[in-house]
Amino acid sequence: MILRVVLGDQCTPGLSALEGLDPASDVVLMAEVRAECTYVRHHKQKIALVLSAMRHFSELLRARGITVDYVRLDDPGNTQSLAGEVARAAKAHGARRIICTHPGEFRVLEDMQGWEEATGLPVEIRDDARFLCTLDRFRAWAAGRKQLRMEYFYREMRRETGLLMHAPDEPAGGQWNYDSENRAALPADLRPPAPRQFPPDAVTRDVIALVEREFPDHFGTTEKFAWPVTAEAAEQALADFIAHRLPRFGDYQDAMAEGEAMLFHALISAAMNCGLLDPMRACRAAEEAWQRGDAPLNAVEGFVRQILGWREYVRGLYWLKMPDYRDTNALEAHRKLPWLYWSGETAMACMRAAIGQTRDLAYAHHIQRLMVTGNFALLAGLDPAEVNDWYMVVYADAYEWVELPNTHGMALHADGGIMASKPYAASGAYINRMSNHCRGCAYDVKRPTGPGACPFNFLYWDFMARHAPRFAKNPRMAMPLRTLTKMAPEKVAAMRAEAKGFLDALAEGREPMLRGGR
């Protein structure tokens, strides 16, 4: 008898751990365990989503005649760790071997590598074939390269998969990348269509009650839970995106707007990351929409680039660079994460919007993560370990393989530039250009310093001054550094003093512009 282990983010019928399964003898183990719910104190919606997806998936396997040993979180005897449950099940079923699929996080791989010794049984860890680029393929691509630029990786992936290609070396439309056409702000008279919601079914309602009981202190609320928890629902979510939002996804990919949490985004990462939706299926569906003339190329290419390019690239990078990657702190950032990241209580309208929707929906789109909360953390010099923890906690789609490169590398530049050739640092002007948040903000985006000045402004120049020597030779930083050298030294000194005063005040929970601030 072979014990086949399926983790919470492996709810995929074609999972490599299930290949060759003999329904007459083999048993699939799926275990809800406290250790996985609390290694970071995940958003309540993330736990509910994963446990509900696991329960639904176990029923699907059973309906196919497969024996599933499903351990619920509150089952008596649950040892509350993956290793403990594997050992218990192996003994109970008299297993001869254990088969599993490569996990998404380094700490789980290390754990899995100890299962052989813990159980005395051979453990086979199979590749995770749900990704479009194998880890070996990525390693081969990275070998000998000085710079690991996503764009070049993406082009190889386009060639290899034939996605959006006219001929072997000819991208559809003649261009590889339409990023420059993805930068419009949302016009005042354009209301994005409301995405399809997936209200909790009976299984999810049970799980939400369990989460509220067992993890009452975790971040976030569950009232607005609307995630797909089955492959069927994930397919409907994709179809809803392709029909109603994909055509404008390209134009407004970088836009932000007050009261518009989702704009034209796909909302599929949470489902895709736990195995409910196949990434190639999502890319092909978008390509077909373009071929039918239902969506323009800039939208479809932008979408395919995110999945075939960025998603595969960050995974490859994670496994190439771990475990040392997460310990780097190239910009020597040591400030503690201010409480406002948890409370959302701030007079900064852009931060309040991003954090508020994160609490209510376990979702913020890419530009909010990168250019609002991420940018603030970068400029303020917040400790990467604390910021990484925050991003791991607060999003329904957070798994370290994708969260870490995006946060540590792209948003914080803590890897010293492996992922991005320059830091994504921006002043309030960027946020003002891409959103309408500044109009209703207590701060003045046009003021660089002085009472009511937008914090992103003085923090930006403080960041530039702080790191000027490091970036002096980086051609992509030449423009802001030149502007800095042209500024009167007193002005720079005033902004730096203001930045320090503001951050010290935040650390003490008293933001100057926030009435009754903590």
Binding site for ligand DLZ (CB under 6 A): 7-9, 31-33, 36-37, 42, 47, 50, 103-105, 108, 399
The distance of closest approach from Cβ of residue 329 to ligand DLZ in the complex, given in angstroms and rounded to an integer, is 23
Q: Cβ closer to ligand FAD: 100 or 370? A: 370
CB 454 within 8 A of CB 438: yes
Q: If you ran DSSP here, which 8-state letter would residue 186 be given?
A: P
The entry of ligand FAD, ligand SF4, ligand DLZ, none that residue 437 binds, CB within 5 to 8 Å by partner kind: ligand SF4
Distances from the Cα of 277 to the Cα of 1, 53, 55, 314, angstroms: 30, 12, 17, 18
**Closest C-alpha among 50, 21, 16 to residue 36:** 50
How is the beta sheet containing 67-71 ordered, strand by strand? Answer: 67-71, 27-31, 2-5, 97-101, 123-126
Alpha carbons 315 and 153: distance in angstroms, whole number = 12
The entry of ligand FAD, ligand DLZ, ligand SF4, none that residue 311 binds, CB within 5 to 8 Å by partner kind: ligand FAD
Q: Which of positions 335-374 make contact with ligand SF4 (CB under 6 A)?
A: 348-350
Alpha carbons 509 and 444: distance in angstroms, whole number = 21
Structure tokens at 433: 């250009």
Does 453 engage in binding with ligand FAD (CB under 6 A)?
no
Please give, one letter per residue, the 3-state secondary structure of 258-320. Answer: CCECCCCCCCCHHHHHCCCCCHHHHHHHHHHHHHCCCCCHHHHHHHHHHHHHHHHHHHHHHHH
The entry of ligand FAD, ligand SF4, ligand DLZ, none that residue 268 binds, CB within 5 to 8 Å by partner kind: ligand FAD
Give 28's strand partners. Answer: 4, 68
The number of residues in the chain equals: 518
**Closest C-alpha among 192, 186, 163, 156 to residue 297:** 163
Does 273 engage in binding with ligand FAD (CB under 6 A)?
yes
Q: Which of 230, 306, 368, 432 binds ligand SF4 (CB under 6 A)?
A: 432
Q: E strands of 94-217, at which residues?
A: 97-101, 123-126, 165-167, 170-171
Choices 197-205, 268-276, 454-462, 483-491 (CB under 6 A): range interacting with ligand FAD: 268-276
Q: Which of positions 383-402 make contact with ligand SF4 (CB under 6 A)?
A: none
Q: Cβ closer to ligand DLZ: 58 or 375? A: 58
Q: Print the binding letters for residues 433-452 with ligand SF4: x by CB under 6 A, - otherwise.
A: ----xx--x-x-x-------
The distance of closest approach from Cβ of residue 274 to ligand DLZ in the complex, given in angstroms and rounded to an integer, is 7
Q: How many residues bind ligand FAD (CB under 6 A)?
A: 28
Summarize as ranges the residues that interact with ligand FAD (CB under 6 A): 265-269, 272-273, 303, 306-307, 310-311, 314, 365-366, 369-370, 374, 391, 395, 397-398, 402-403, 406-407, 410-411
Please report, as ranges, the residues that interact with ligand SF4 according to CB under 6 A.
Answer: 348-350, 428, 431-432, 437-438, 441, 443, 445, 454-456
